[in-house]
Structure 1
Amino acid sequence: MTEIRLDAKTLRALAHPLRIRLLGLLRADGPATATGLAQRVGETSGTTSWHLRQLADHGLIEQDSDRGNKRERWWKAAYESTEVRIEDFRDDDDSAGALNAYLYEIASGNYRRMTTFLAEDWPHEWREAFTMSDQDVSLTPEELVALRTELHEVIAKYRRPERSGDETVIVQIQAFPRTRRSG
């Protein structure tokens, strides 16, 4: 699996809701044209084209040379997953707004995907397999890192080529300290 770790430059390139959405669609559904993406996100092809070029300029997507022609450009994601370490930006006041915008849009996208699933009529076996839970666990920062690592290893164990009967399953992991009550 290929992964990119966001730096200040790539973070600023991604700190736009439409760019995050376009990149997400290319990663989830594969190569597409600006026109095809525009129809899916409710924008003009000119707008999606411009944002796709911005993503390409920062190495986040690339042209799919196996598709298209001089008139029709196909784009694909340049990597499979994104890593952002908040600590990388702790002392970078210039990136604070971009970091907040990026994180907010990622959280909003996760919420939209979950509520879309809940609103759809899935077959019984998928409704029974679905999970949404939260649990409070007392941990140190080191234990949280170990938990995160183990969860990622479990997910990696289940990663395989798609087979008949499969659906793409979105696995969301959120683990963060709860704000302490005062007093």
Structure 2
Amino acid sequence: MAAEKNRRITDLDELKALGHPLRLRLYRALNVAREATASMLAEQVDEAVSLVSYHLRKLAAHGLIEEADRPGGDARERWWQLAHRGVSTRDRDFRDSPEGVAAHTALSRVAARQREEMYESYLDSQAGWEQEWRDVAFGSESLIWLTASELGQLKGEMEALVAKWQAHGRAAREADTEGRENVALHVYGFPFRTGPVVEETA
């Protein structure tokens, strides 16, 4: 059974293992499915079963996923599950080496690209969703003037709110699936600067 806590990745090899685009897609698909075989996941990501099996074994070798215990199941099929509830990474854990910085940046870019693809996929298919889902789905951008400390406080408040709804979803998943769907919530908070204002001269 998967551990009930998130795992913070601080090892460079583990970071690199997860940073592969297909492995990250498989990790996300397994997170949604909870348990799945390589053939099930291959169908979801539209790749060969042999290739998916290879990358699943790589994720397992780094302790990111594990074999699921399925009593009475077909022994010829390996079922996989996450080894932890989820994973997280922090930039500050990899700042001590150029290789670590590059690997963390690469993983962050892959993750951002895949999140964008997920949202674009929803936009392409939203006409097929029921009106109640279309009414509540959202995308927004807020530009705020903050200090680093204030952004940290905002982050903490948002993480607590998300954790509350994650716990609610997990409990409801066991008891009542009626009317429920997988929901992706993508949130970014980062500083940026505008370019210098260029004044026109006569």
Q: Which amino acid counterpart does residue 5 of structure 1 have in structure 2?
A: R
How far does residue 170 in structure 1 lie from its aligned partner after superposition? 1.2
1:6/1:83 contact within 8 Å kept: yes
Q: Give the Cα–Cα distance (whole angstroms) in 1 for the partners of residues 53 and 102 of structure 2.
A: 24
Whether 1:36 aligns to 2:40 is yes
Aligned to 1:128: 135
- 2:188 is paired with a residue whose SS is coil
Displacement of 1:21: 0.5
The answer to whether residue 186 in structure 2 is matched with residue 172 in structure 1 is yes
3-state SS of the aligned residue for 2:24?
Answer: helix
How far the C-alpha of 1:84 sits from its partner, in A, is 1.0
In the aligned structure 2, how far is the partner of 1:141 from the partner of 1:106? 24
CA distance in 1, matches of 2:81, 2:102: 27
CA distance in 2, matches of 1:34, 1:25: 11
Whole-Å Cα distance in 2 between the matches of residues 96 and 142 of structure 1?
23
- Structure 1, unaligned stretches of length 5 or more? none
The reply on whether 1:53 has 2:57 as its aligned counterpart is yes
Q: Which has more radius of gyration?
A: 2
How far, CA to CA, are the matches of 1:11 and 1:47 in structure 2? 20
Deviations 1:76-116, CA, capped at 9 Å, x for gaps: 11112221111111122122332222111110111111111
Identity across the alignment (%) = 34
Q: 1:147 corresponds to which residue?
A: 154
Q: Residue in 1 aligned with 2:123?
A: 118
Match of 2:86 among 81, 87, 92: 81
TM-score for both structures, normalised by structure 2: 0.84
User: What is the CA-CA distance between 1:137 and the residue it aligns to?
Assistant: 0.5
Please tell me whether the aligned partners of residues 12 and 95 of structure 1 are also in contact (alpha carbons under 8 angstroms): no
TM-score for both structures, normalised by structure 1? 0.93
Q: Supply the RMSD in Å over aligned alpha carbons.
A: 1.6
The secondary structure found in structure 2 opposite 1:76 is strand
Count of residue correspondences: 183
Letter in 1 for 2:132: E
The match for 1:107 among 112, 135, 140 is 112
CA distance in 1, matches of 2:45, 2:120: 17
SS of match in other structure, 2:196 = coil
